[in-house]
Amino acid sequence: MKATDKLFAGSIPALYDRYLGPMIFEPYAQDLAHRMSGLRAGRVLEIAAGTGIVTRAMRRALPDTVEIVATDLNQPMLDYAAAIETLAGVTWRAADALVLPFGDASFDAVVCQFGVMFFPDRRAAYREALRVLKPGGKFLFDVWDKIEENHFTHIVTESVAALFPDDPPRFMERTPHGYFDKAVIEADLKAAGFGRIVIETVAKTSRAASHRDPAIGFCQGTPMRNEIEQRAPGRLDELTEVAAKALAARFGQGPIEAKIQAIVFEAAR
């Protein structure tokens, strides 16, 4: 992972939430919130909360007796999340997943949507999740499956990469879709001290209002933007249109839909 892979700043949070939120993150936010719905009281820690897509889904799914502490390393993402909507019983806090600022056994569950791929030391982050969990608590997270199983992402990545054959932008493949080997992830969880681990591959359908929405979302609403602007200053809109045309050639101009696929892990303390 490159240093810029974790840079979510400027207009990226707003574009991320507007375009990618409903298109690829909301379906799995609903899935995670449903898996948490049996919790009737206590505290939930969310790691890598981003713009609060899962936070809002959990707040709708869980009773008011459940407190949610939503954290992220990137303050601009949290600022954007907090500005969207006031959520009762939700605390927003900047925190590093590798060094969580919470006491031992202080949460009934730890949740993370598509964040563990960004951790520079995943086993250290898993040990921290285990540490803050109460006995019997669960760690619930998901990761994207390989990029070829996520069709919008794959087409956008390949269409832009073709323009830079000597140094293609590979953020999406390298980081969000770079940690999907079930055996590796299970081994990391066990090495961190987790016992019972349940793994499920979950395929869903991603929907977009037009062929331009995924192109804007990925090219301008993720750190892929940083890669494009480094290679082609002033040409972001032009390269976004190249990706949009590739999507239109495959799916039409919209509304369009395609397969997305993730892997969900549940590990118990």
Instruction: Say what the pTM is.
Output: 0.95
What local confidence, expressed as pLDDT, does residue 9 receive?
67
Please tell me whether residue 212 adopts helix, strand or coil conformation. Answer: helix
What local confidence, expressed as pLDDT, does residue 3 receive?
65
What local confidence, expressed as pLDDT, does residue 10 receive?
83
Q: Which two tokens stand for residue 262?
A: 């993730």
Whole-number Å distance between alpha carbons of 148 and 59: 32
What mean pLDDT is reported for the chain?
95
Q: What is the pLDDT along the chain (269 residues), one digit of tens a residue?
A: 676 656 676 888 889 999 999 999 999 999 999 999 999 999 999 999 999 999 999 999 999 999 999 999 989 889 999 998 888 999 999 999 999 999 999 999 999 999 999 999 999 999 999 999 999 999 999 999 999 999 999 999 999 999 999 999 999 999 999 999 999 999 999 999 998 999 999 999 999 999 999 999 999 999 999 999 999 999 999 999 999 999 999 999 989 999 999 999 999 99
Q: Is the CA virtual torsion 174, 178, 184, 186 positive or negative?
A: positive
**With left for phi above 0 and alpha for psi between -120 and 50, is residue 133 left, alpha or beta?**
beta
Domains and CATH numbers, the chain: 3-268 (3.40.50.150)
> Closest Cα partner for 128 from 91, 155, 101, 89?
101
The alpha carbon of 142 is separated from its chain's Cα centroid by a whole number of angstroms, namely 8
Determine contact, residues 117/176, Cβ cutoff 8 Å: yes
Residue with tokens 């090219």: 219
Please write the tens of the pLDDT for every residue from 161-215: 999 999 999 999 999 999 999 999 999 999 999 989 999 999 999 999 999 999 9
Residues 6+ apart with CB under 8 A from 3: none
Determine contact, residues 263/199, Cβ cutoff 8 Å: yes
Largest CA distance in the chain: 54
